[in-house]
Amino acid sequence: MLDFKKFLKVGKHYIGYLMSLGFKDLFINFLGLLLVVGLSLLVYIPVSMIRDILYKIIVIFVSGSPTLYEVFDLVFTIISAILCILVFVYLFNKRYEDVEKLKNSRSDNLYLNKDKKEKEENEENSFKVRTNEVSEELDLPKAKVERKKFN
């Protein structure tokens, strides 16, 4: 399911990718990384719900001692932390496994406007050339000008 060697490799490539970014792109990638961390922290919700249910069941059947609750709380804290780390590794590997794709999309976005303007200018120039060629080849009739008569 999880490959920690792959995580280390992906992390190394991602850090190298981050070092080549400008401030704007770095901020955007930082927000993306925060979202991945936030999604992995959502694991705490179901684990804490299970912890609360099990604790209430144990309290009903066994007279509780403070030591029992401390051990119980410690076990579920460790379980939720491990699950959170595993989910983070999984999401990080899925999101950032193809860093080259991220680099290409970033470079496409940087030069998109420049390429778009050049393409529009080329199309406009070629349209002008084509219309000039067409207008030179055809001798179209002139429109009749109507004159108003004054009575």
Q: Where are the domains of the chain?
A: 4-109
Question: DSSP letter string over the chain?
Answer: ---HHHHHHHHHHHHHHHHT--HHHHHHHHHHHHHHHHHHHTTHHHHHHHHHHHHHHHHHHS---HHHHHHHHHHHHHHHHHHHHHHHHHHHHHHHS-HHHHHHHHHHHHHHHHHHHHHHHHHHHHHHHHHHHHHHH--PPPPPPP-PPP-
Q: Write the pLDDT tens digit of every residue in 44-53.
A: 888 888 888 8
Higher pLDDT, 128 or 103: 103
Q: Write the pLDDT tens digit of every residue in 130-144.
A: 555 555 566 666 777
Structure tokens at 32: 């993306």
Per-residue confidence (pLDDT) for residue 64, from 0 to 100: 66
Higher pLDDT, 4 or 41: 41
Has this prediction a pTM greater than 0.85? no
Per-residue confidence (pLDDT) for residue 92, from 0 to 100: 87
